[in-house]
Amino acid sequence: MAGRGDSAYGVYTLNRGTQGVLNLANQINLGSATHKACNMMPKQLCSTKDQEVMRVIRASNQNKIEIQQLCIPSRVGAFDQDYYPPFTANKASSTAAKYLAGEDVPAATMQLGPEKKKAGGKGGLNRLKTKTTADLEESKSAAAGGDDTEALKARIAQLEKDLAAARASGSSADASAAEDLSTKPVLGYWAIRGLAAQIRMMFYYLKVDFEDKLYETGDAPDFDKTSWTDVKHTLGMEYPNLPYLIDGETKITETVAIMMYIAKKY
Ligand SMILES: N[C@@H](CCC(=O)N[C@@H](CS)C(=O)NCC(=O)O)C(=O)O
């Protein structure tokens, strides 16, 4: 735990058997420099032989960026499996097709293990094991030289070809849209701040003339949403949702994707 303005980290263990009880395992004091902001780094960077359970990057009040290793001294010494429960993997556990078909798949997890001693090895990544249903299927299929693997290889080859062609012509869809400043973008969202607030702020900040298309809901308790649902599937969007952005031929949804588009274009 670290709070803004603190100059220490507290490393706690949670005893799942006694709900709600946190035990202080280590206190790391950093003298007078306090935290302005802290962020956790990817789990796989942790040095398991040092019982490092979290690595944090922090901005201090003295205008310094520092990396801090949060460790719990272990009775076992070296690698202690108890300190490294599985954590959510940064890869999909299923596919869109399976999800849409209603297949229920447990979330993929990753697991850190002991560090390998081999010099010049891949360090942390060597220790990282991902357990996903998709992995198992992939490896089975690869071992069998299955159809899926061949289809994926063909798809990758095709995508690489398309990418090379787009690069050669120097006119990807993104680039051409980014050059056309004559279009007036339409931002669609509910008539509230919500997820569109930051997008509207970007437009105002960048002095971009845009249409703020507001969908009204009826009053409580029903909040009639038909102003949106009646048109949702008529706008020609691949994944219709709010907020959306229509800019000339470009139609996108997902707040962050919209913000990235605006950042790139303007
Ligand atoms: N991940 C999406 C979330 C979109 C979302 O949840 N939109 C809500 C409003 S905050 C909605 O009502 N969408 C309309 C719909 O589902 O048709 C994003 O960041 O844009």
Take residue 32 and report the two structure tokens written for it.
Answer: 């007078």
- What domain range is 166 assigned to? 138-170
98 & 123 share domain: yes
Looking at residue 123, its pLDDT comes to 45
1 occurs within a structural domain: no
182 & 155 share domain: no
Environment class of 240 (CB within 10 Å of its CB; exposed 0-12, middle 13-18, buried 19+): middle
3 occurs within a structural domain: no
Looking at residue 146, its pLDDT comes to 55
Runs of H (alpha helix) within 42-124: 96-100
Evaluate: CB of 255 within 6 angstroms of ligand 1: yes
Mutate to test the pocket of ligand 1, among 187, 192, 195, 199 (most ligand atoms within 8 A of CB): 195
163 & 177 share domain: no
Between the CA of 178 and the centroid of ligand 1 the distance, in Å, is 25
Between the CA of 228 and the centroid of ligand 1 the distance, in Å, is 11
Domain boundary, last residue among 47, 82, 117: 82
Q: Which amino acid is it at 266?
A: Y
> What's the structural domain count of the chain?
4
Question: How many Å apart are CA 32 and CA 60, to the nearest integer?
Answer: 10
186 & 144 share domain: no
13 & 77 share domain: yes
Between the CA of 242 and the centroid of ligand 1 the distance, in Å, is 5
The protein residue with its alpha carbon nearest to ligand 1, atom 7, reads 242
User: Going residue by residue through the chain (266 aa), what tens digit of pLDDT does each one get?
Assistant: 888 888 888 888 887 777 677 888 888 888 888 999 989 888 888 888 888 989 999 999 998 898 989 988 777 777 888 888 888 887 888 888 888 999 988 888 888 888 776 554 444 444 555 555 555 555 555 555 555 677 888 888 888 888 888 777 765 445 554 468 899 999 999 999 999 999 999 999 999 999 999 999 988 888 999 999 999 999 999 999 999 999 999 999 999 999 999 999 99
Q: If we measure between CA atoms, which residue out of 245, 251, 240, 177 comes closest to residue 210?
A: 245
149 & 186 share domain: no
Evaluate: CB of 232 within 6 angstroms of ligand 1: yes
Environment class of 189 (CB within 10 Å of its CB; exposed 0-12, middle 13-18, buried 19+): buried
Strand partners, 70: 54
The dihedral formed by the CA atoms of 205, 235, 250 and 155, expressed in degrees to the nearest 10: 130
Between the CA of 230 and the centroid of ligand 1 the distance, in Å, is 16
The protein residue with its alpha carbon nearest to ligand 1, atom 2, reads 254
The protein residue with its alpha carbon nearest to ligand 1, atom 17, reads 241
31 & 76 share domain: yes
CATH number at residue 180: 1.20.1050.130
Domain boundary, last residue among 170, 190, 215: 170
147 & 198 share domain: no
Environment class of 35 (CB within 10 Å of its CB; exposed 0-12, middle 13-18, buried 19+): buried
2 occurs within a structural domain: no
261 occurs within a structural domain: yes
Domain boundary, last residue among 170, 189, 224: 170
